[in-house]
Amino acid sequence: MMAQGRKAWLAVLFACVACYSHAGEPLPVQVLGPDGGATENFRSALAARADLSVSFVSDPDQARLILALGETAFAQANKTRLPVIGVHIPRQVVTAAREDGCLCTAVYREVPVADQLRVLRGVLPGARKVGVLLGPESVRLREQLEFPPLLFEIRVLKDADELAASLGELLPRVDVLLALPDATLYNPDTARLLLLASYRQTTPVIGPDEQFVRAGSLAAAHPSPEGLIEAAAMLLQYAGLPGQLPPPGYARATISVNNRVARSYGVIAPDIEAIRQGLEARE
């Protein structure tokens, strides 16, 4: 009887959703995110777009969908019964949530591997041998490491305990280390070890994100603020909302460069604007 009751409740819910989605009225959306101006600025940027048929509400009882900015808000939103669109969410977190059965999608925090390789080629055009350390979260990216004329030396690590020895063995053999997003290997606790090792071996690091660039990576591709807004707007335009959600996707990327690190490695100033335009132009 309980199963039949649940089926009946779901049938009513989906019927209501179908009726709502064809009503032609703006979709009520609640925006969750960090306290402060960033969340309000993001909401305002979306509200100013003429191509969106949504209304932003503060009362969760009025909302039919939640737009969650950041990992914390994404986790909070997925505890509700409403469908969720996350923005700037790690791919690993999105995959786990969807495997657990959430009604959610997202704009990833990462960029495609090809974007990071475009940055590497643009900033270090003379580099040929590229070292890559892959961990549990990034090993799936191995098949994407093909970008002629680059030659890749790849090591797969089980955990961060293997990082020091692997850096000592790999860095002297390569021109640059490509750090791909993987919280097991690249996090605040390992940043100092990684970056000091790279300085000692005079082997620059590209990636994995803008936070590492501030800490001492040479450069990285990462989602641009405008790209995140654009990608979120595209998800909010999906015809099946709120009952059906589009698949997760990437935002358009931009580039960050640590000029101090560039000078220390003697990197001749690259055409950053040309690299940025190339990233923004990708399909």
Q: What is the CATH number of the domain that holds 202?
A: 3.40.50.2300
Q: What's the pLDDT at 283?
A: 57
Point out the least confidently predicted range of 117-126, 210-219, 238-247, 268-277: 268-277
Structure pTM?
Answer: 0.87
Distance CA 62, CA 70 (A): 22
**Do residues 137 and 188 both lie within one domain?**
yes
- pLDDT tens digits for range 206-248: 999 999 999 999 999 999 999 999 999 999 999 999 999 999 9
User: Beta strands 253-257 and 219-223: pairing type?
Assistant: antiparallel
Domain contains 4:
no
Q: Tokens 């931009």 appear where?
A: 254
- pLDDT tens digits for range 144-162: 999 999 999 999 999 999 9
Reduced to 3 states (helix: H, G, I; strand: E, B; else coil), residue 30 is: strand
Q: CA-based angle 71:74:77, to the nearest 5?
A: 155
Q: What's the pLDDT at 4?
A: 41
Average pLDDT over residues 171-185: 97
Amino acid at 258: N
Give the number of domains in the chain.
2
Q: Tokens 């936070």 appear where?
A: 211
- By CB atoms closer than 10 A (0-12, 13-18, 19+), residue 217 is buried
Indicate if the pLDDT at residue 282 is higher than 80.
no
**Do residues 72 and 188 both lie within one domain?**
no
Pair of tokens at residue 272: 């950053």
**Do residues 185 and 272 both lie within one domain?**
yes
| CB-CB contact of 85 with 106 (8 Å) | yes
Q: What's the pLDDT at 270?
A: 79
**Do residues 121 and 233 both lie within one domain?**
no
**Do residues 118 and 97 both lie within one domain?**
no
Domain contains 2:
no
**Do residues 142 and 103 both lie within one domain?**
no
Instruction: Measure the N-to-C terminal CA separation of the chain; round to a whole number of Å.
Output: 51
**Do residues 241 and 206 both lie within one domain?**
no
**Do residues 52 and 117 both lie within one domain?**
no
Q: Answer with the residue of higher pLDDT: 264 or 24.
A: 264
**Do residues 22 and 101 both lie within one domain?**
yes
Indicate if the pLDDT at residue 3 is higher than 50.
no
Report DSSP letters for 189-237, one per residue. Answer: TTHHHHHHHHHHTT--EE-S-HHHHHHT-SEEEEE-HHHHHHHHHHHHT
Q: Nearest to residue 260, comparing CAs of 248, 269, 247, 251?
A: 269
Indicate if the pLDDT at residue 7 is higher than 50.
no
Q: Nearest to residue 81, comparing CAs of 63, 54, 57?
A: 63
Helix (H), strand (E) at residue 27: strand 27-32
- pLDDT tens digits for range 18-71: 334 434 689 999 999 998 899 999 999 999 999 999 999 999 999 999 999 999
Q: What's the pLDDT at 1?
A: 38
Q: What's the pLDDT at 122?
A: 95
**Do residues 232 and 245 both lie within one domain?**
yes
Average pLDDT across the chain, whole number: 91
Domain range for 180: 113-222+254-281
- By CB atoms closer than 10 A (0-12, 13-18, 19+), residue 268 is exposed
Q: Where are the alpha helices (DSSP H) in the chain?
A: 2-21, 37-47, 71-77, 91-99, 113-123, 163-170, 191-200, 210-215, 225-236, 259-264, 272-281
Domain contains 165:
yes
Q: How many CB atoms lie within 10 A of CB 36?
A: 8
Question: Is it true that the peptide bond before 83 is cis, omega within 30 degrees of 0?
Answer: no
